[in-house]
Homo-oligomer: A and B are copies of this chain.
Amino acid sequence: MTKTDILVLGGGPAGIITAVTARGHYPDKSITLVKSVEKGVIPCGIPYMFGSLESPEQNALSTDGLASKNIKVVVDTAMCVDREKRVVKMESGEEYEYEKLVLAVGSKPIVPPIKNIETKGVYPILKEMDYLKNMVNVAKSAKDVVVIGGGFIGIEMADEIASMGEKNVTIIEMLPNILCNAFDEEFCNEAAEKLNEKGVKLILGKTVTEIIADNGVKAVKLNDDTEIKADMVVLGIGAKPNSECVHKCGLDIGRGGGIWVNDYMRTSDENIFAVGDCAEKRDFFTREHAPVMLASTATAEARIAGANLYGIKAVRINHGTIAAFSTYVNGLALGSAGLTERTAQKAGFEILIGTAEAPDRHPGKMPGASKIHVKLIFSKKSRIILGGQVSGGNSVGEMINVIATAIQKKLTANEIATLQIATHPKLTAAPTIYPLVTAAQAVEKM
């Protein structure tokens, strides 16, 4: 039996940042972090192991730095939690007694129950270095690659694999468009166009009914009975919270299947916290379950949990998930935060929409300028910003964070329209037509 004050299960961003934050707030507590694979990867970097990075090893997620912060790291897998005794039993047989337990056990890729899905050549995306290195090697020699799922992981994988050489890359998405859950149609179309330009084929509104196999994958069969030739299939259809272990110990589970947590990331057991993909999320505005699994969301939660382990201070609070994220496809950057037009309407919000376009440098002839497209969604009555989407050049990556900040502080259209922003010819749109401001301005007269 090993005693540790704080036991963190999980070696992804959520686990690491909870441990680091806890170290900052509780310098005298012993902290142990248990991770299930020796060599993890930076989750958001996985697609870039296939093309942009020189070698997959460059995407390693290291926990080496934790030793210097006096955080002990162990490779093992939790099997069972005895909440009464405050003991976690590991696969190795080792037992850990804790004061505070943090569940940061992540998610597992969804593997749909279709025929031959376990065939050699079909790859769910696991966050394990050795597995992914093998997958990269397979991709190198693959000729016909089918990516099932057109969410951001699917399109980034397709984009990168298409960069690896002469390949036929096809994305199959059951929804009417790629990126449908995070963007409204006009932005989905921009991304789709970029994939088309790159030669990636999109098959939309179709489902995969069977993997056709003969000593390895040969093709993918769709619900209209067409077959798409494939020697490699990538499963990018999402993930589900990894909460099996926890179900067993009787913690409350949320409607989305994640571990229920309060605004301080505490579960129904006051000595157990949950963060990241395994923790249930509530949407910032709708207050409904938010099916969001992002490292950025996870680390924000981790910074809240790590500060509140021994007593809630009510200074670090989770006000709900805004699902701020960005993606990149063949030179086009896209960002989204908060509600889209579609999700807002579905949730019953009365909304106003402001859009704007502008070059991302000024004057527009400045070398390197590309077009930014902004869409902001406001509550009709309160004029509070509910969400925003941006596409354009690389500056989108931080521009979406201006929107994310505005959402979290509930700025009104008038506040955004009169926001003091910094502009520069080589870095941003002109102050006269800065598109966040003009998009907010656009709803003024509605």
Contacts and interface: CB of A to CB of B under 8 A. Distances in A.
Interface of A: 13, 16-17, 21, 24-25, 42, 44-45, 47-48, 52-54, 58-60, 294-300, 303-304, 307, 315-318, 321-322, 324-328, 333, 335-337, 362-363, 365-367, 394-402, 404-406, 408-409, 411-412, 414-415, 417-428, 430-432, 434, 437, 441, 444-445
B328 A424 contact: yes
A425 B45 contact: yes
11 contacts: A25-B445, A295-B430, A296-B422, A298-B431, A304-B418, A328-B427, A333-B426, A398-B401, A400-B422, A404-B422, A408-B419
A363 B333 contact: no
Contacts of A52: 366-367, 425-426
A22 to B, nearest CB: 12
B426 A328 contact: yes
Contact of A421 (B25, B47, B401, B426): B401
Contacts of A445: 24-25
A69 to B, nearest CB: 13
The 6 A-B pairs with the shortest beta carbon distances in the complex, nearest first, are: A397-B427, A398-B398, A296-B431, A324-B422, A58-B365, A409-B409
Q: Can you tell how many copies of this chain the complex includes?
A: 2
A32 to B, nearest CB: 19
A326 B406 CA distance: 20
A42 B359 CA distance: 14
A401 B422 contact: yes
A417 B296 contact: no
A296 B395 contact: no
Nearest to A329: B426
B44 A424 contact: yes
A242 to B, nearest CB: 19
Given A296-B422, A441-B24, A303 B417 contact: yes
A404 B432 contact: no
A144 B325 CA distance: 49
B401 A399 contact: yes
Contact of A422 (B318, B337, B422): B337
A378 to B, nearest CB: 13
A402 to B, nearest CB: 5
B409 A25 contact: no
B45 A363 contact: yes
A7 to B, nearest CB: 20
A26 to B, nearest CB: 11
Contacts of A417: 303, 316
A271 to B, nearest CB: 22
Given A52-B367, A398-B398, A418 B326 contact: no
A404 B419 CA distance: 8
Contacts of A47: 425
Contacts of A432: 13, 16-17, 295, 299
A408 B318 CA distance: 21
Contacts of A434: 296, 299
A217 B114 CA distance: 82
A65 to B, nearest CB: 10
Nearest to A315: B414
Contacts of A325: 422-424
Nearest to A327: B424
Contact of A326 (B59, B60, B412, B423): B423
A337 B13 CA distance: 30
A438 to B, nearest CB: 10
Contact of A366 (B48, B337, B430): B48
Given A398-B399, A414-B316, A432-B17, A321 B420 contact: yes
A398 B402 contact: yes
Query: Which of A60, A294, A315, A394 has the largest count of B CB atoms less than 10 A from its CB?
Result: A394
Contacts of A402: 398, 401-402, 405
A437 to B, nearest CB: 7
A227 B319 CA distance: 62
A70 to B, nearest CB: 15
B365 A53 contact: yes
